[in-house]
Amino acid sequence: MKTINDFNFNDQIALIRVDFNVPLNAQFQVTDSNRIEAAKPTILKVVEEGGIAVLMSHLGRPKGVSNADFSLKHIVSKVEEVLGFPVTFVDDCVGAEVKSVLNNAKPGSIILLENLRFYPEEEKGDVAFAEELASLGDIYVNDAFGTAHRAHASTTIIAQFFPESKCFGYLLAKEIESIDKVLNSTEKPVTAVLGGSKVSSKITIIENILDKIDHMIIGGGMTFTFIKAMGGNIGNSICEDDKMELALEIMEKAKQKNVTIHLPIDVVIADSFSNDAATQIVNVNEIPDGWQALDVGPKTLESLKPVIQESRIILWNGPLGVFEMDKFANGTITLGNYIAEATSNGTFSLVGGGDSVAAVKQFDLDSKMSYVSTGGGAMLEMLEGKTLPGIEAIEN
């Protein structure tokens, strides 16, 4: 794997694809700078070695039309604050103005180009547009894991114009290593925690990882498709009736592969989907009509503790309950604390997928995990066993 460490950037222009698709509030202020901070080591290596860092990114979905609401000019001050360096913003990403700024740039400069998606050619993977972008730099660095599953001009097509001088940035290299550690671990046991509302959204992940894990902890709404398929009463809990047979097949496959599936034993049920709902704790297969399960119960958490403690590798993808409501956050918080404790004892823990990442950040657990992935869709596709075009383009 060719990484940024294989190059010296002295007197070189590094064209770096970053993922600065960060959330903004109504005043266009950055509300979460994690993605900018994640790219910092890559950018600093370039400028500290006397190179020029040219940053390319998209922001939002402007659908190929220039739109001030999606301009990267809004994030310049935050990028400067995070990097500790001045940043020159150019209000285009190709053309004469960009080349003029580059011609006058001094070693150690950081230049941020305007939103790539103001050009429809970006998402279409247009070769001529990719070539125009490529003409701006000497070395191409892909550090945007969040878009590595897209065959866009700046993430994939561009790499062909740098046959010998393309590499992964620190962030993308770390993402690949972390997922590889889960999927190809020689350390055992390996545990996957899969939550979320639907079995259907996780089926390809489950099928791909069954050969690689020892334990599968199932939580969240997808639990009840399994429980109902096994004849349990799930009340008004969420369920995919058309996936019940699939749930039984997964259990049978897991049994054949000696993978232990851990379903909740008890659950916290509510009489409405609300933080003000009346609640009680019941066995998972005895939920009365009119009630729905929104979190796991204490017996379940007690049963999961030794599984987590004994695991050497843990993948956490999906919460155990509706953690956004305080009343139903206990299962997710407690599981997070178990994983944090295991991590401090030498277990490798990888957290990925939007809801899990949101949960570890909300409960200040992110710094206690081995790695928190920056790319939801990209990580899920890697866990499904797919080759991501943005990664393949660097490796070829």
Encoded amino acid at 149, one letter: H
Residue 276's pLDDT is what? 95
Same domain, 189 and 338: yes
Answer yes or no: is 133 within a domain: yes
Residue 354 annotated as lining a ligand binding site: yes
Q: Which residue has the tokens 């400067």?
A: 80
312 annotated as a binding-site residue: no
Q: For residue 180, tell me if it sits in a domain.
A: no
* DSSP type of residue 237: -
**163 and 191 share one domain:** no
385 assigned binding-site residue = no
Q: What is the pLDDT of residues 55-100, one digit of tens each?
A: 999 999 999 999 999 999 999 999 999 999 999 999 999 999 999 9
The verdict on 58 and 167 lying in the same domain is yes
The answer to whether 355 is annotated as binding is yes
Q: What span, in angstroms and rounded, lies between the C-alpha atoms of 196 and 218?
A: 9
The pLDDT of residue 354: 66
Tokens 């004994």 -> residue: 310
Do both 22 and 151 map to the same domain?
A: yes
Question: What is the structure's pLDDT at 38?
Answer: 92
117 is in an annotated binding site: yes
Residue 355 is predicted with a pLDDT of 86
Residues 6+ apart with CB under 8 A from 26: none
Is 113 in contact with 140 (CB distance < 8 Å)? no
Q: Would you say residue 152 lies in a domain?
A: yes
What single DSSP character describes residue 69?
G
The answer to whether residue 389 is domain-embedded is no
**What's residue 197's pLDDT?**
84
Look at the block and give the residue holding tokens 């901070």.
37
Average pLDDT, the chain: 95
Cβ neighbours of 345 (radius 10 Å): 8
Task: Encode burial over 234-252: b for 16+ CB neighbours within 10 A, e otherwise.
Answer: bbbbbbbeebbebbeebbe
Q: Is 21 known to sit in a ligand binding site?
A: yes
Which one of 131, 152, 173 terminates a domain? 173
Of 247, 235, 233, nearest to 200 by C-alpha is: 247
Contact (Cβ atoms closer than 8 angstroms) between residue 79 and residue 42: no
Cross-strand partners of 349 = 314
- The pairing of strands 139-142 and 166-168 is parallel
- Backbone torsions φ then ψ of 19, nearest 5 degrees: -115, 85
Judgement on whether residues 240 and 147 belong to the same structural domain of the protein: no
* 164, 207: one domain: no
With a threshold of 0.75, does the pTM exceed it? yes
Dist. CA 260–CA 267, nearest whole Å: 20
Q: How many CB atoms lie under 10 A from the CB of residue 274?
A: 11
Residue 313: which domain range?
Answer: 185-383
pLDDT of residue 9: 98
Q: Which of 284, 286, 309 is nearest to 299 (CA)?
A: 284
Catalytic residues: 35, 198, 354, 377
| Number of folded domains that form the chain | 2
Question: What pLDDT does 43 receive?
Answer: 98
212 is known to lie in a ligand binding site: no
For strands 166-168 and 292-296, give the pairing.
unpaired
Give the chain's radius of gyration (CA, Å).
23
Q: Are residues 254 and 143 in the same domain?
A: no
Residues of the chain with pLDDT under 70: 354
Given 173, 195, 216, the domain boundary residue is: 173
- Is residue 391 in some structural domain? no
pLDDT of 375: 76
Assigned domain for 274 exists: yes
Let me know if residue 392 belongs to a domain: no
**What CATH code is carried by the domain that includes residue 71?**
3.40.50.1260
Between CA 327 and CA 316 the distance in angstroms is: 22
Same domain for 164 and 193, yes or no, is: no
On whether both 131 and 191 belong to a single domain, the answer is no
Q: Is 118 annotated as ligand-binding?
A: no
Q: What are phi and psi of 166, to 5 degrees?
A: -135, 150
Does one domain contain both 226 and 115? no
Q: Is the peptide bond before 189 cis (omega within 30 degrees of 0)?
A: yes
DSSP letter for 350, please: E
**Do 140 and 243 lie in a common domain?**
no
Tokens 């053309």 belong to 95
Task: Provide the pLDDT for residue 202.
Answer: 85
Q: Is 353 annotated as a binding residue?
A: yes
Looking at residue 6, the DSSP 8-state letter turns out to be: G
CB 383 within 8 A of CB 179: yes
Give the pLDDT score at 396: 87
Amino acid at 162: F
20 is in an annotated binding site: yes
H/E stretch holding 89: strand 88-90
Is 394 a member of any domain?
Answer: no
Final residue of a structural domain among 113, 139, 173: 173
Spatial contact of 111 and 93, defined as CB atoms under 8 Å apart: no
What separation, in Å, do the N-terminal and C-terminal C-alpha atoms of the chain show? 10
Q: For residues 160 and 132, is the Cβ–Cβ distance under 8 A?
A: no
Q: Three-state SS for 148?
A: coil
Whether 35 and 68 map to the same domain: the answer is: yes
- What residues does 141 pair with on adjacent strands? 16, 167
